[in-house]
Structure formats: structure tokens, C-alpha cells
Amino acid sequence: MGYIANGVERSAAYVAPRPNSQLALFQALPVSRYSNNDETVIRKAFVMSLKPGADSEYERRHNPIWPELSAVLTAHGVRAYSIFLHAQTRQLFAFAEIQDEARWEAIAETEVCQRWWAHMRELMAVNEDNSPESVPLREVFRLD
């Protein structure tokens, strides 16, 4: 079911994740699409959570992320990716702009992504495969 917002067609598509799957983080996200200079951009947002006392170490490990992880994200069509911390609840709000659903989902299959998840597992709530537990968010407002 789609809708029009600010003159842009948006999709409220939702793909249910496979339980405890490394693809769950990538597949379980509502989709918001818009066109930018003849290029479709897909916006994704989700929430993850940190374990108590892990916020400083989480931030340290992300500044900077591994160059090979950055390269994989870029090669798979990630145009922008931000993570914000709500310190009182230890919730992480992640936002990504991607070019293609299949390429986004393929990130989970890469060796570097799986190493990154293993590297971060002690700091976060994770699934059996070390992928972060995540809750998808649906875009309800956008101002361009």
C-alpha cells in the first residue's frame, strides 16, 4: 500500500524477517522511496539497543568503522547511514538511504559484516547469528 507525501510516491511495504536470521536486520524494514535526480532512493530506519554501560565503547568502535566495512556498504549502494544514541534508554536509532533492496540484503552475507557483528555482539542485544536485534520503524512524516 503506497501513499503520496510532498508530491513523492512512497511505499509502506514491509517484509517480515526470518526469526534469528542474519538477514532479519536488513529485511525487516519498512520502505520509504523517493526520486532524487532520476535515482530512486530507499530510506530505512530501525532501532537497536545497547547493553548497560556499553555506550562509550560502541561509539569508540564506530569512530571510525573499519575501512573494509565502509567499502562494503558503499559498494552495496548505501548512500548514507547514521546511528543516533538515546542515552537514557540505550536505544540506537539507525537511518540509511540505499539504492536497492537486494544489494542492501546482500550486505548481511558478506564476511566483513559478519565479522563486524561478532565484534559488536558484547555491546548489544543480538540474535543467535550475532546480528543486532532490531525493530523496524515506519516513516510517518518527511519534509523535503
Q: Where are the domains of the chain?
A: 2-137
Q: What is the dihedral of CA 112, 62, 104, 130, to 10 degrees?
A: 60
- Judged against a pLDDT cut of 80, whether residue 6 lies above it is answered with no
Question: ∠ CA 91-96-100 to the nearest 5 degrees?
Answer: 140
Active site residues: 62
Residue range 80-130, pLDDT digits in tens: 999 999 999 999 999 999 999 999 999 999 999 999 999 999 999 999 999
CATH fold of 2-137: Alpha-Beta Plaits (3.30.70)
Closest CA to 45 of 100, 74, 76, 82: 82
